[in-house]
Amino acid sequence: SLEMYRCNTCIGRPVTCQQCCVGSHKHNPFHQVTKWSDGYFQKTTLSNMGFTICMGHQGNPCPELPGHHFTSHFKRYEDEELVFVDKGGVWTFNVSWCNCRTRPDKVFQLLDMGLYPATTRAPKTAFTLQLMDYFYFDLMECQTPAANFYSKLRRLTDNVEPKTVPVGELTLKVHTGTDQNQIQDRYRELMVAARQWYDIKAKIWAGVGHDPPSEDRHGRLTLFCAPCPQPGVNLPPNWKELLSPK
């Protein structure tokens, strides 16, 4: 019989077959998907349905694969499993990298797709830019600690057993009897990425986002304050003489 899938995130919650469901989510891999089984819709993921995130080429597979331009100096970026953190939860997806002759490195491929890598060295985790902004606003308006914010993401992923949220290869050990405390989370990576993101946003807001590092100077991120007394701005040139007693 034909397997039916329903996306609970898409408007209208359309019910489609597996091929149509995967194809319609090429640019929305972090949607909540359920599968009709045993008389009701059971929770599943696009990753379990064979979905692969293709880096570069706007989500389409790299046209250079398979290719014959790889050498000992230009090696192929092999497909690998990465952890993605979005506003809707924590996800694990297989990633197919761009392998064109003019390919950027993995970090720039992630950034080009709107994903912020947790590290610049062999990234294994990436955060959506929407999540980075959402985390910032949640912290500013609700004063939510980072630990509670990440716990919320894990519950959004699996509210029944949030501690078993798939976050990488170590998750497989849970099903083999390994202590659940060995499951890795991405709280530390979120904190590092958030600090970097806030610094980048502060430079953009101050208008120095494209300045070279050689122009770093103390106080360049300070915001202009109109009410503060500033000579030549809102104080007359002879303001010191006006303050001196006559």
DSSP state of 61: P
Distance CA 171, CA 138 (A): 28
Question: Which residues, at least 6 apart from 70, have a Cβ–Cβ distance to it below 8 Å?
Answer: 76, 99
- Region of 94 on the Ramachandran plot (φ > 0 left; ψ -120 to 50 alpha; else beta): beta
H/E segment holding residue 196: helix 187-205
* Res 212: pLDDT: 80
Helices (H) and strands (E) in the chain, counts: 7, 9
* Secondary structure, 3-state, 93-161: EEEECCCCCCCCCHHHHHHHCCEEECCCCCCCEEEEHHHHHHHHHHHHHHCCCHHHHHHHHHHHHCCCC
Closest CA to 7 of 46, 50, 37: 46
* Res 167: pLDDT: 53
DSSP state of 243: H
pLDDT tens string for the chain (246 positions)? 689 999 999 999 999 999 999 999 999 999 999 999 989 999 999 999 999 999 988 889 988 766 677 788 888 889 999 999 999 999 999 999 998 888 899 999 999 999 999 999 889 999 999 999 999 999 999 998 988 998 899 899 888 878 777 554 444 444 444 444 445 578 889 999 999 999 888 888 888 878 887 777 777 777 778 888 888 888 888 888 887 766
User: Would you call 231 helix, strand, or coil by DSSP?
Assistant: strand
Is the alpha carbon torsion for 160, 82, 32, 108 positive or negative? positive
Its pTM stands at 0.80
* Res 246: pLDDT: 62
Tokens of 168: 């990488």
Q: 123-148 in b/e burial notation, b at 16+ Cβ within 10 A?
A: bbbbbbeebbeebeebeeeeebeeee
* Res 123: pLDDT: 93
